[in-house]
Amino acid sequence: MTIQTNEIHILDQILLVDLSAIHLWTARKKLKAEMLEGKIPPADLASLGSMRVIDPERLKPFEKIKRQAIKAVEECGVKFLGGYAVSQDKIQEVVDHLEALKTQFYDLKSSFLPNYDRWVSDWVNQGWEKVEWREAIRSSATPKAEVDAGLQFGYAACRVAPDGDKHLSSTLGGQVRGLADQLFAETADTAERLLETGLATRGHVTQNTLNTVRKMNAKLKGLMFLSSEVKGLSDHIEATLAALPTSGVVNGVQYGAVVTLISSLSTEESIKRLIKHLNIANGSDEAVAPAVEVQLPVEPPAPQEPVVAVVEQAVEALAGQDAPVSEPVMAEIVPHASVAVDETVHALAEVAESPVAVLPEPVPEPEVAKPAEETEPEPLPQAAGFWF
């Protein structure tokens, strides 16, 4: 199975953003048994079998910038091939944000490296209980050049295209098909975190919470080309948000609507159920109004074939009377019609449980026959399934 046309169309609308070139220096060294001297160091010095060689607070600004970079792409992109699939409509905005963070990162690094040796010394002289621990920190300190190489901010943005090999292109197609489900999984994760704050029992919702939902929907809206289901879900969320105030606390019936919405988005299964209901509702809204139901007689309607046979028999009978026959005319079935009935019609009416087709009376002479005197019409017999 090769990659499908719609999957190629999706690839044409996204770029892959890779953040794997953002590197942080951990400032940790492996903890050796001789460093312990029979006593476990405090948690702020050592943990999980490793020892810190500098105050971890000095590295937190770098960690914050990396988190901001990840957030910048996660707010409008979905995880894809080890990176993030970002809409081409949003890529410039993302790149501008990453460039600003990159500048901050290297400005911070420029102020960090000149102070590195002093900060290591401050950490050694922190006043640790055992002299051996201080010596272990001093001897384990990472050279400044290694720290310089370890602190890097890099990223890449590129197009993804299928290979000419059918097998390779089919594997890529499978990844593309999974983008919508991955988007739903990330949406559910965000909604679940909102519920974990106690939203369902709080009795009100703040604009901060609503802003999170708005960002969630902005991401869905930007990626709705992934599938019609994404678009339907985004439209539903947008309609719900549009009915809410943009300032102040939301409570009462509107609060209930928010809780219902977020709950329906909190798992992948509940999202799929919501989409199913939306599809049904949209289908009924767009459909043509159904025809009015009519109560038919209890007897099932007779098949139409006997009517054709009766008409054919009538034409043959008339043709054998050596009288000129006018061009056949379709008999019109009209309720309570007043018609002239001759012997042929009475014979046809005796066909058991069959609809009656009335043919025009043959004209023996070219003159137009005078209409018969108007008399009270005699009702014709009822055929099965039809009313005359």
Using alpha carbons, select from 272, 269, 263 the residue that is nearest to residue 193.
263
Q: What is the DSSP letter of 54?
A: S
Judged on CB neighbours under 10 Å (0-12, 13-18, 19+), 78 is: buried
300 within 8 A of 384, measured Cβ to Cβ:
yes
Examine the pLDDT at 386 and tell me if it is beyond 80: no
User: Measuring CA to CA, how many Å separate 296 from each of 6, 22, 289, 301?
Assistant: 48, 75, 21, 9
The percentage of residues in the chain with a pLDDT greater than 70, rounded to a whole number, is 68
Q: Could you read off the pLDDT of 275-286 as tens digits, one per residue?
A: 999 989 877 443
User: Residue written as tokens 């054919």?
Assistant: 312
Average predicted confidence (pLDDT) for the chain: 78
Q: Could you read off the pLDDT of 128-155 as tens digits, one per residue?
A: 767 777 888 888 889 999 999 999 999 9
User: Residue written as tokens 């002289």?
Assistant: 125
76 within 8 A of 218, measured Cβ to Cβ:
yes
385: left (phi over 0), alpha (psi -120 to 50) or beta: left
**Is the Cα torsion angle 164, 165, 168, 170 positive or negative in sign?**
positive
Using alpha carbons, select from 95, 90, 69, 68 the residue that is nearest to residue 219.
90
The set of long-range contacts for 279-288, using a CB threshold of 8 Å and a minimum separation of 24, is 279/229, 279/232, 282/232
In the numeric block, which tokens belong to residue 257? 């609507």
Q: Could you read off the pLDDT of 9-31 as tens digits, one per residue?
A: 999 999 999 999 999 998 887 76
- CA gap 182, 223 in Å, rounded: 12
Instruction: List, in order, residues 6 or more apart from 250 with CB less than 8 Å away.
Output: 204, 205, 206, 207, 210, 244, 258
Judged on CB neighbours under 10 Å (0-12, 13-18, 19+), 219 is: buried
Q: What is the dihedral of CA 65, 66, 68, 73, to 10 degrees?
A: 150
Q: Could you read off the pLDDT of 312-369 as tens digits, one per residue?
A: 454 454 444 544 444 444 444 334 434 343 444 444 444 444 444 444 455 555 454 4
In the numeric block, which tokens belong to residue 36? 């312990």
Q: What is the dihedral of CA 143, 149, 151, 157, to 10 degrees?
A: -170
Count CA atoms within 13 Å of residue 21 on its CB side.
9
Arithmetic mean of pLDDT, 26-50: 64
Domain ranges in the chain? 5-158, 198-285
Three-class secondary structure of residue 213 per DSSP: helix
Q: Could you read off the pLDDT of 92-123 as tens digits, one per residue?
A: 999 999 999 999 999 999 999 999 999 999 98
